[in-house]
Amino acid sequence: MYYIKKRIEISGSHRLELPYESKCTRTHGHNWIMTIYCRAAQLTEYGMVTDFTHIKTQITDMLDHHDFNEVLDFNPTAENIARWVCDMVPNCYRVDVQESEGNIASYERD
């Protein structure tokens, strides 16, 4: 099995839809750090699990310097973003999303 890990940093804002009072229901921004893990039993014809550049452009083109509520069709919690990234990237099996120091959400496929 081959494994790769790609770390990207983006800036973006969001607001959360919550059924309780929270400052997070107001639009605010983070410098997000996303760590994307991919694996494959066989490499592509080019000798890769997934191209690092494709991972970066696929995520940053859609999210970097954007309001996540305007580009995503779900409540943009760190947990939901982690799952969305995992679904977007070929061969991805795990994503860690850090929205601030000490606040990290992870999604891993079974």
What's the pLDDT band for 110 if we cut at 50, 70, 90?
Answer: confident
Number of domains within the chain: 1
Distance between CA atoms of residues 3 and 17, nearest Å: 35
Domain of 101, in residue numbers: 2-10+30-108
Share of the chain above pLDDT 70, in %: 100
- The whole-angstrom separation of Cα 48 and Cα 27 is 39
Q: For residue 88, what pLDDT is reported?
A: 96
Please state the pTM of the whole predicted model.
Answer: 0.95
Task: Report whether pLDDT(18) > 90.
Answer: yes
Please tell me the distance from the alpha carbon of residue 3 to that of residue 92, in angstroms, as a whole number. 10
Which CATH number fits the domain that encloses residue 103?
3.30.479.10
pLDDT tens, 59-86? 999 999 999 999 999 999 999 999 999 9
